[in-house]
Amino acid sequence: MRNKRILVSTILTLLVLAIALTGCSGTKNTGSGNTGTTTSANGQGSSSEPVTLRVIAVTHSWTKDLGEIPMFNKLSEEIGVKIIWEQVRSGWDEKKNTILASGDVPDAFIGWGIKDSDISTFSNVFMPLNDLIDSYAPNITRMFKEQPDVKALATANDGNIYGLPSIIPHRPNSFNIHSINRVWLNELGLETPTTFDEYYNVLKAFKEQDPNKNNKQDEIPFDWAPERGLFTAMSMIGAYGNYAEDFSGDWTSAKDGKFVFLPETEDFRKLVSYLHKLYSEGLINQEVFTQDYSQFQAKSKDPEYEIVGSTMGWSLEDRFGSVYAKDYEVLLPLAAEKGIKPVWPAHPARTKYLSNVAQITTKNKNPEITMKWLDGFYTEEMSAQGYYGSLGVCIEKQGDKYVVLPPQDGMGADEWKWTNALVDAGLMYVSPELDKRIIAPESIAQRVAHDALYEPYFPKSEDILPILKFSKDDMNELSIIKTDILKMVDIKWAQWIIEGNIDAEWNSYLNQLESMGLSRMKEIYQKYYDEYLGK
Amino acid sequence: MKRQNSDFVFNILNTLICIIIVISVIYPVYFVIIASISNPMSVANGNVWLYPKGFTLMGYKEIMKDSRIWAGYRNTLIYAVGGMLISMLFTMPAAYALSRKDFKARGFLMLFFTFTMFFNGGLIPTYLTVKKFHLDNTIWVMLIPFSVNVYNIIISRTFFQNNIPSELLEAAILDGCSNIQFFVKVVLPLSKAILAVISLYYIVGYWNEYFKALMYLREDKLHPLQMVLRDILIRNQAYASGQLGSGASAEGSVQQKADLVKYGVIVVSTLPIIIIYPLIQKYFEKGVMIGSLKG
Amino acid sequence: MYTHYKKFIKHIKDYYQLYILVLPAVIIIFLFNYIPMYGVQIAFREFDPSKGFIGGEFVGLKYFIKFIKSFQFADLIKNTFFLSLYTIVAGFPVPIILALVINQIKNAKVKKVVQTVSYMPHFISVIVLVGMLSIFLSPSSGIIGHLYTALGLKPVNFMGVPKYFRSIYVLSDIWQHSGWNSIIYIAALSAVDPSLYEAAEVDGANRWQKLIMIDIPSLVPTIIILLILNSGNIMNVGFEKVYLMQNSMNLPVSEVISTYVYKIGIMSNQISYSSAIGLFNTLINFVFLVTVNFISKKTSDISLW
């Protein structure tokens, strides 16, 4: 009867539901929760059965599947481990807290996933590595011995090491290059500017005299990147001879062992006034604060004309593309006035070292062999491949040198390396000596050469704020203070450059910063800086 | 005649509004299409607005050559169709039951359902619960735990309340029809419009689902299209935050590709849905159902 | 007592089928929405991962107070509330009007085209949408900029002017989602009994009158329910679009609760704090919902419960 049929079908539905809920699905993967099924008796990684390790790797979105990269497979085979990779290319921030808080962690993390704050918040998840390194990691031990500051970088406040660091090859000391259009200077018969006044005159000429010869006043004399990052006009604060930003993105710095917050200094006030003068005469991109990164990069690479006169950025090629790059050159740091020796920001620890590239979790049943495996990345051969890619595919050994091969598959050099290696997410130790023996591709070599031009202007080490490690509670407190303060600074930086009036508002601005907790912020920073110096 | 005049004016007004709608909507959509095949530098500099400039199919090539796309499409089809069917199966009967004013539990159940639209335990406890049932990292997590959308229940309930006349129920009861029979034999055939809408909402919801897949599916082979596309799309964002002092491209080509791809991604992910809609549209024809009933 | 019992049994006998219809949904919601609610406790506890998710020490309203006393509290609430209110109020009529207009189209093909075209923008991802806004609104290179120059006016940098932020946000929202949101109204209109139109025709009503007297009333129940539901979202401003649209110039207006929580979360993992903020948000939403629902019940007899 119909009634019965309907009843039966409803019951069947509920049955399906129930079955599904008890998780009898056949597609359930076998990899989850499966750690260390075979433990070799003495943890020496005997070649009997490979130990299975579950690893989460947070990589660049260009990076191919790690299981398809020859150097990693070779390493796993040598050590006697089988890696089950879970690779995250996007959305890691959204997942991270859930994975760490739920305890659903793998045996190890590799790449960009974990920061100091994660380690201090989820202290029960990460294993201290000191003993493991001493016993099973000869290459890492060697790195620590030869480069003690990288060991300090990796050591937390409790003396333990939770995350391994890397030293990467072919790095400049400074992130930022101030560039200027040499062709335009020549066109207009101008000298390379060395002071703020000279720069002002050059920019004015760029704007008014149509150096790109298209009968339109479309030139943008000076442009910098949106957001408070690495490539902004803040790098010019050294024109007054005092401070260099520390590339933390927080506009912090140091002077003679004292913590400095740049946005409250007199030099900041003067710099902003100068920038306002430039902006008010149209010498700065009117959309410098509202453009997005795509537009910023597109302006300097417009296919029809060169539009940008001078700018900030990673390198000439990055900013102008291969077609226009040869028309530009590095602009040495400007002095606010003649007679001042300007400072150009540099932070070798940030450019050359990576921290927290690998961690072992407390869920790991085979930490010894995991450490051996991780250590395997730090041999000379693996390190040479770590940045550019596997031997035979991306890099080639010639005698005692390693030569980077040209890219394939129609990719550019950059894309090729990011596809085939972990690059800035990778584990490796490239000592200064090895660095010389890896022959860098042309564009990278050029970048390092440009960096050398800035060397006479780099700050002394007492004027570089090191990377500090805060306790969980201090970090929590700081994060709130910084969010409030930096928001105000962003607003005012933009507002004063566009509208001026900084002098009238300066005092109330300082008071505002104070009421948001600036003193407390300085106190916390100074405390940790003192501890660092004391070591 | 007066009426013809006012109707005429009405017509003109209506047509005018339609034209404005079509143009204002179609232009940006058209822009997305031509941007996906233009030189991205020109696009970002505002030089592309009527026709493509610097024609290139590189964006699409880039997307299509990622082998995960095809697995993504397949998985999304499973999740979308399977999910929609399961959701409809759970949602529509519930909505009907709740539409019955004589159903005593109605008030309580409405509160029961609505409450969850505003209070939830949070991401981590939900994750832990899903784990407890061993649903994580399986296709079932995409089909069962989040299959009931309360918003859809509420809309469907409203529809039932207003379009199923009580006389019908009375007549059916007289004929000895049970509640479930009435639902299946009378209500459903009359509700094609709402069935079409809600299944569209569900299928689109499943089609676009990104976050749940991100949280609960650990293996590449289970990933739906949106996750693959997001990986592709995010290549642009990595550059945007400028944290790429680390590996900032030595050449413009990487940034270019990323920009190009983001428009192509829209086209690739949306095309199937746009094709489906006209098929469901016929259920929205005026008076498609009631008329047949009056007999 | 016995009569109550008998009544109850009778009720179950008569209505058990309706209970069956509603059961699967109830089970799912219970299992995956109610059970996890134990996690709400974390807003009142000090998160301590070694003690399990909710094992931390009980700290009561500590984090709520922290939020209320925080420097940006007033700004965040204000920005979030007004952005949301503007979105709801401005965005509400448009799908309705759209549905009414489309419903009037006689030619079936044209109707199909207009409908399909109107909902296409819904699928454009927010990253691309904001990218497009930047391009179109750029004073130097965007279409709007060109328009201004053509008219002899100095172009305005819209994305940078705080007072335009909300309008850009809301108008682009309306543009993007009205077509999609009109679908439910179109469906409701299609369910209208055609004999009503015939009767009206006989009475000599013109198209405008038919619209007012038949179309609109048929939409009223749907309109009211959706309005109630939307009011429960009053404090929910999604993170992504706002974050992408933020820049140094519009920050005073564009910093909302979700972006604030995100920024703190980049530097620290304050799970208890962000939970407390989320719960606070939810409370405001709920109060609104209940109020609007109550008002609606009293005035129109249409309500959620």
pLDDT over 90 (residue C114): no
CA angle B244, B249, B253 (to 5 degrees): 135
Cβ neighbours of B214 in A, within 8 Å: 91, 94-95
Cα(C49)–Cα(C42) distance, integer angstroms: 11
Q: What are phi and psi of C155, to 5 degrees?
A: -65, 145
pLDDT reported for residue A31: 36
Q: How far is CA A328 from CA A448, A455, B29, B295, C116, in A?
A: 16, 20, 38, 83, 50
Of A35, A84, A48, A64, nearest in space to A421 by CA: A64
Considering only CB atoms, which chain C residues are within 8 Å of A289?
160, 247-249
Report CB contact under 8 Å: B110, C26. Answer: no
Q: Are residues A162 and A128 in contact, defined by beta-carbon separation less than 8 angstroms?
A: yes
Chain A contact for C91, CB < 8 A?
Answer: no
Q: What residue in A sits closest to C259 (Cα-Cα)?
A: A483
Structure token pair of residue A288: 């410098």
Which residues are registered as beta bridge partners of A195? A335
Q: How many CB atoms lie within 10 A of CB A113?
A: 24
Q: Which amino acid is residue C106, in one-letter code?
A: K
Give the distance, in angstroms, between the CA of residue C123 and the centroid of all CA atoms in the same chain.
Answer: 17
ipTM score over 0.90, yes or no: no
Mean pLDDT throughout A246-271? 95
Round to whole Å and give the CA distance between C2 and C18.
24
3-state secondary structure A419-449: HHCCHHHCCCECCHHHHHHEECCHHHHHHHH
Of A247, C254, A493, which is closest to residue C263 (Cα–Cα)?
C254
Kindly report the backbone phi and psi dihedral angles of residue B167, in degrees, each rounded to the nearest multiple of 5, phi listed first.
-60, -35
Q: Say what the pLDDT of residue A27 is.
A: 38
pLDDT in tens, B209-257: 999 999 999 888 899 998 888 887 776 555 444 344 444 443 455 666 7
The DSSP string of A329-365 is EEPPPPBSSTT--------HHHHHEEEEEEEEBTT-S
Q: CB–CB of A484 and C263 under 8 A?
A: no
Question: Best of A285, A480, A485, A513 to disrupt the C interface by mutation (most C CBs within 10 Å)?
Answer: A480
pLDDT at C6: 87
Residues 122-141 of A with CB under 8 A from C: 122-125
Per-residue pLDDT band at A413 (split at 50, 70, 90)? confident
pLDDT, averaged across chain A: 89
pLDDT at A145: 96
Same fold, A26-172+350-438 and A177-345: yes
The verdict on a CB contact (< 8 Å) between C282 and B118 is yes
Q: Is C125 in Cβ contact with B145 (below 8 Å)?
A: no
- Tokens standing for A224? 């910098």
- Sign of the alpha-carbon torsion through A142, A144, A149, A150: positive
Residue range C254-267, pLDDT digits in tens: 999 999 999 998 88
For A86, list phi and psi in degrees, rounded to 5.
Answer: -120, 110
Contact C101 B196 (CB under 8 A): no
d(CA B120, CA B112): 12
How confident is the model over A212-227, as pLDDT tens digits?
A: 999 988 999 999 998 8
In chain B, positions 39-68, which contact chain C (CB-CB < 8 Å)? 43-47, 49
C270 and A CB contact within 8 Å: yes
Distance from CA of C233 to the nearest CA of A (A): 22
Q: Which of B85, B133, B178, B244 to mutate to test the interface with A (most CBs of A within 10 A)?
A: B244
Q: Do A227 and B241 touch (CB under 8 A)?
A: yes
C271-300 and C62-69 helices, crossing angle to 10°: 80
| A511 in reach of chain C (CB within 8 A) | no
Q: Does B295 touch chain C (CB under 8 A)?
A: no
In angstroms, the Cα distances linking A187 to A30, A183, A216, B14 are: 68, 6, 16, 59
Ranges A155-159, A261-265, C139-143, C178-182: which has the least confidence: C139-143
Q: Do B120 and C36 touch (CB under 8 A)?
A: yes
In Å, what is the CA distance from B58 to each residue of A418, B81, B285, C43? 19, 31, 42, 49
Inspect the interface and report whether the beta carbons of B251 and A65 lie closer than 8 Å: no
**From the list B128, B180, B248, which residue is nearest A318 (CB)?**
B248
* Helix pair B252-281, C108-119: axis angle to 10 deg: 140
- Tell me the C-alpha distance between A403 and A389, whole Å: 11
State the pLDDT at residue A105: 94
- Bridge-partner residues for A161, per DSSP? A155
Burial A299-338 (b: 16+ CB within 10 A, else e): bbbbeeebbbbbbbbbbbbbbbbeebbeebbbbbbbbbee
Integer Cα distance of B200 and B284 in angstroms: 12
Please indicate if any CB of chain A lies within 8 Å of the CB of C32.
no
* Confidence grade of residue C139 (pLDDT, cut at 50, 70, 90): confident
Place of tokens 């809309």: B155
Query: What average pLDDT is seen over chain B?
Result: 83
Q: What is the mean pLDDT of residues B1-8?
A: 73
Q: Is residue A174 packed enough to be buried (19+ CB in 10 Å), middle (13-18) or exposed (0-12)? A: buried
Determine, for residues A415 and B180 on separate chains, whether the beta-carbon distance falls below 8 Å: no
B273 touches chain C (CB under 8 A): yes
Cβ-nearest to C49 among A21, A122, A292:
A122
Six-digit token string for A197: 């006044």
Q: Characterise A464 by phi-psi region: left (phi > 0), alpha (psi -120 to 50), beta (else).
A: beta
Contact A457, A104 (CB under 8 A): no
Query: Does C94 contact chain A (CB < 8 Å)?
Result: no
Q: Which of A356-370, B274-288, C204-218 has the lowest mean pLDDT?
A: B274-288
Helix axes C126-137, B2-35, angle to 10 degrees: 100
Of the pLDDT bands very low, low, confident and very high (cuts 50, 70, 90), residue C131 is confident
Tens of pLDDT, residues B253-275? 566 677 778 788 888 888 887 78
Confidence check: pLDDT of C269 > 80: yes
- Which of A337-341, A387-391, C61-65, C196-200 comes out lowest in average pLDDT? C196-200
Helix (H, G, I), strand (E, B) or coil at B295: coil
Please, what is the average pLDDT of chain C? 90
Q: Which of A31, A101, A415 has its CB closest to that of B254? A: A415
- Which pLDDT score is estimated for A47? 52
Q: Among residues 135-194 of chain B, which lie with CB inside 8 Å of chain C?
A: 144-148, 150-151, 153-155, 158-159, 161-163, 178-180, 183, 193-194
CA distances from A438 to A380, A406, A444 (A): 11, 14, 12
For residue A44, name the pLDDT band (cuts at 50, 70, 90).
very low
Min Cα–Cα distance to chain C from A526, Å: 18
CA atoms within 13 A on the CB side of A241: 8
Question: What is the CATH superfamily name and number for domain A177-345?
Answer: Periplasmic binding protein-like II (3.40.190.10)
Cβ of residue B105 closer than 8 Å to a chain C Cβ = yes
Q: What is the dihedral of CA A488, A494, A498, A501, to 10 degrees?
A: 30
Mapped onto helix, strand or coil, the DSSP state of residue C23 is: helix
Query: pLDDT confidence of C149, banded at 50, 70, 90?
Result: confident
| Exposure of A520 in the CB half-sphere (CA atoms within 13 A) | 16
Question: Which has more confidence, A521 or C203?
Answer: A521
DSSP assignment letter at A407: P
CATH no., domain A26-172+350-438: 3.40.190.10
Query: Where do the structural domains in chain A lie, given as residue ranges?
Result: 26-172+350-438, 177-345, 466-533
Q: pLDDT category, C223, cuts 50, 70, 90? A: very high
Instruction: Determine the residue among C42, C48, C137, C183 to mutate to test chain B binding: the one whose Cβ has the most chain B Cβ atoms within 10 Å.
Output: C183
Q: How far is A28 from chain B (nearest CA, A)?
A: 5
Asked if residues A288 and A308 have their Cβ atoms less than 8 Å apart, the reply is no
User: In which element (H, E) is residue A87 found?
Assistant: strand A81-88
Nearest-10 Cα torsion for A60, A65, A66, A69: -110
Band of pLDDT at residue A23, cut at 50, 70 and 90: very low
Structure tokens that stand for B251 in this block: 């050449």
Q: How far is B3 from chain A (nearest CA, A)?
A: 53
Q: Does B253 touch chain C (CB under 8 A)?
A: no
Token pair of A44, please? 């020496």
Give the pLDDT confidence score for residue B7 in this predicted structure: 83
Q: Is the dihedral of CA B191, B197, B201, B204 positive or negative?
A: positive
Q: Using CB atoms, pick whichever of B42, B137, B236 lies closest to residue A28.
A: B137
C66-78 pLDDT tens trace = 999 999 999 999 9
Q: What whole-number distance in Å separates Cα of residue B196 and Cα of residue A26?
A: 32
CA C105 to CA B284: how far, in whole Å? 13
Residue with tokens 């200064």: A432
Residue A385 pLDDT exceeds 90: yes
Residue in C closest to B190 by C-alpha? C191
Residue A19: is its pLDDT beyond 70?
no
Distance CA(B168)–CA(B187), nearest Å, equals 9
Please give the interface size between B and C, counted as residue pairs whose CB atoms are below 8 Å apart. Answer: 272
Residue A269, H or E segment: helix A266-280
Measured over the CA atoms of residue B102, residue B107, residue B108 and residue B111, the dihedral's sign is positive
**Do strands A51-58 and A81-88 pair parallel, antiparallel, or not at all (unpaired)?**
parallel
* Interface chains of chain A (3 or more CB pairs under 8 Å): B, C
Residues contacting C114, CB < 8 A, separation 6+: B18, B21, B22, C102, C105
Check: CB of residue A25 under 8 Å from CB of residue B139. Answer: yes
Dihedral sign for Cα A107, A108, A109, A114, please.
positive
Flag whether residue C95 sits within 8 Å of chain B, measured between CB atoms: no
Over residues A56-73, the pLDDT tens digits come to 999 988 899 999 999 999
Mean pLDDT of A435-462: 93
User: Which range, A184-188, B69-73, B161-165, C6-10, is most confident?
Assistant: A184-188
The Cα-based distances of A54 to A85, A298, A482, A520, B207 in angstroms read 6, 41, 36, 42, 30
Mutation to test the B interface, candidates C28, C133, C216, most B Cβ within 10 Å: C28
Q: Are A236 and A311 in contact (CB under 8 A)?
A: no
Asked if pLDDT for residue A254 goes beyond 90, the answer is yes
CB-nearest to B155 from C112, C184, C278 is C184
3-state DSSP call for residue A255?
A: strand
- Calpha distance C28→A18 (Å, rounded): 10
